[in-house]
Amino acid sequence: MIRRVWLVVCFFMVGYLPVSAQYSAQDSTVQGSGRTLQALQPKIHFSMDELYLPAAMIGTGVLLDLSSGMKNTQLSFNKAHLTHFQTAADNYLLYVPAVIPYGLDMVGIPSKTDILNRTAILIKAEVLVAATGFALKHSIHEWRPDHSNHYSFPSGHSMQVFATATMLSEEYKDRFSWMPYAAYGFASGVGLLRIANNKHYLGDVLVGAGLGILSMKVAYWTHHYKWGKRPVKFN
């Protein structure tokens, strides 16, 4: 079991690491029909520093999942204090960060990336989240705390909500300095609900959170920004 966990996690980490291309912001101007079109592209750089947080979360989560003592402590706590706790809120709240940018678009608060490129980035991240989660869940076969099935590792809810929380942070942190705290705080709340619902161990949630953050970062690092030309000036 221990060997399988490490092999699968290392495989996916190695798969993410080679993404080191840098995409610089480019402002291109096209003249025609009395109108100037300008490509507004955000500047995206790969940085090793960006890997430290998700790597730490994934590593800590794996260590916790390998500790039967930590798992038993969580089971004892849930049995003593959360026996009758049950909510379906986590099944809906995980999608909230994904729709917030579109709501802000409608009220006139623009994101750093235009809607077409942002949507493309979101789709790529969702594909990474789904593929990574499916592969790990069907390779590890860890039983959930409530023994409902053996797809506990990693937490898919945490992967989803932390991925889209990362998009919120990236898109609005320059406009709203509090956005990263709000986004990741919200995502952490969803992760805690998964633990309280006895659906995941803490390690499952930490690994899911790290993989979610990493998936969205990779989607940004690899995006080519083929759209984004906006009319910015009329003569």
User: pLDDT tens digit string along 35-52?
Assistant: 333 344 555 677 888 899
Give the CA radius of gyration of the chain: 20
Q: What is the pLDDT of residues 153-207, one digit of tens each?
A: 999 999 999 999 999 999 999 999 999 999 999 999 999 999 999 999 999 999 9
64-67 long-range contacts (CB < 8 A, ≥24 apart) are 64/201, 64/202, 64/203, 64/206, 65/5, 65/142, 65/153, 65/201, 65/203, 65/204, 65/207, 66/2, 66/5, 66/203, 67/203
The residue type found at 138 is H
The residue range of the domain holding 33 is 2-234
The pLDDT confidence band at residue 233, using thresholds 50, 70 and 90, is: very low
Nearest to 124 by CA among 19, 12, 216, 213: 216
Q: What percent of the chain has pLDDT over 90?
A: 73
Q: Could you tell me the two tokens for 3?
A: 């060997």
pLDDT tens for each residue of 76-100: 999 999 999 999 999 999 999 999 9
Q: Does residue 162 contact residue 208 with C-beta atoms inside 8 Å?
A: yes
Q: How many domains in the chain?
A: 1
Percent of the chain with pLDDT over 70: 77
Task: State how far the Cα of 193 lies from the Cα of 90, in Å rounded to an integer.
Answer: 6
State CA 217 to chain mean position distance: 8
Residue type, 220: Y
Is residue 149 scored above 50 in pLDDT? yes
The pLDDT confidence band at residue 20, using thresholds 50, 70 and 90, is: very low
Rounded CA separation 21/15 (Å): 14
- What gap in Å lies between CA 207 and CA 54, rounded to an integer? 8
> Residue 215 and residue 100: Cα distance in Å, rounded?
19
List, for residues 54-78, the tens digit of each pLDDT value: 999 999 999 999 999 999 999 999 9
pTM of the model: 0.81
User: What is the average pLDDT value for the chain, to the nearest integer?
Assistant: 83
